[in-house]
Amino acid sequence: MKKSQDDLLVINNLRKSFNNDLVLDDVSLTLKEHEVKVLIGASGSGKSTLLRCINLLERIDDGQLLLAGEDIASEKIDRDRIRSQIGTVFQSFNLFPHLTVIKNIALAPVQVHGWSKEEAMQKAMDLLERFGLKEKANQYPDLLSGGQQQRVAILRAIISKPKVLLLDEVTSALDPILIGEVLSLISELKAEGMTMMIATHEMGFAYKVADELMFLHKGVIAESGKPEKLLAKPKSKELKEFLKSLHDAGRL
Ligand code: ADP
Ligand code: MG
């Protein structure tokens, strides 16, 4: 199987079922270092399951998952070690409510990566400063807007420099007015070279940030390619219908 130097994540022929329901069917893709792939597709098409398979929250039934050349689907793998190399942020902000913003960000580096508390707090403050959240450092999450909370969740996911960042519908729970600040943080991460797999319904953002768009339909990557090509000249009936439904809903 082809594997060049900078293939960060390689998925070959992945299959995943839930109770005899095939949810991911023969999914193959290669995510290169610094590349951003965006998953689009109707609700239930398998986007979250694919991301959950990658960070080992779900076991795959068949196929191959390689992270930096290492077979991470192996039974023998230390799942915590692999997960510590993969940053993940979901739709619902799961910040710890009893910890301040800065401690939310600094916790895992100390507990998982063995950093000193001082180093972790300093790096967390550097990040907060860089992304305009410095004055929130010592507040508790419930005093922040949803957009600020989600930005903190992303900073928490990147502080220990994961090999890849997985973002699953991170703006879906936000008021429209707060979505932009989260998307612009993600765009900044792209500009800095972060390797990402993103599931989103925000088509304008997907268009802008994706090196490659992947359209999932019933667990199959029905079509993929450069956003301008995929959106302007969809080939499959399924993608045409999906884009029409977005258009009709005023979302495209
Ligand atoms: P998407 O993120 O694109 O909306 P999901 O990956 O969440 O899609 O879901 C894909 C399919 O898998 C859906 O039919 C969903 O009902 C099913 N599914 C997801 N997680 C589970 C689970 N833990 N148990 C059973 N079925 C599941
Ligand atoms: Mg989902």
Q: How many other β-carbons are positioned within 10 Å of the β-carbon of residue 170?
A: 27
CA 200 to ligand 2 center in whole angstroms: 9
pLDDT of residue 4: 53
Sign of the Cα torsion 204, 206, 210, 164 reads: positive
CA 66 to ligand 1 center in whole angstroms: 23
pLDDT class for 216, splitting at 50, 70, 90? very high
CA 54 to ligand 1 center in whole angstroms: 15
Which whole number is the average pLDDT over 96-119? 96
SS3 assignment, position 61: coil
Instruction: Please tell me if the CB atom of residue 43 comes closer than 6 angstroms to any atom of ligand 1.
Output: yes
Instruction: Please tell me if the CB atom of residue 46 comes closer than 6 angstroms to any atom of ligand 1.
Output: yes
Whose CA is closest to atom 15 on ligand 1? 44
Instruction: Tell me the pTM.
Output: 0.95
Evaluate whether 179 touches 122 at the Cβ level (below 8 Å): no
Whose CA is closest to atom 12 on ligand 1? 23
pLDDT of residue 251: 83
Whose CA is closest to atom 5 on ligand 1? 46
Instruction: Please tell me if the CB atom of residue 54 comes closer than 6 angstroms to any atom of ligand 1.
Output: no
Evaluate whether 72 touches 153 at the Cβ level (below 8 Å): no
pLDDT of residue 5: 54
Nearest Cα to 215, choosing from 238, 197, 195?
238
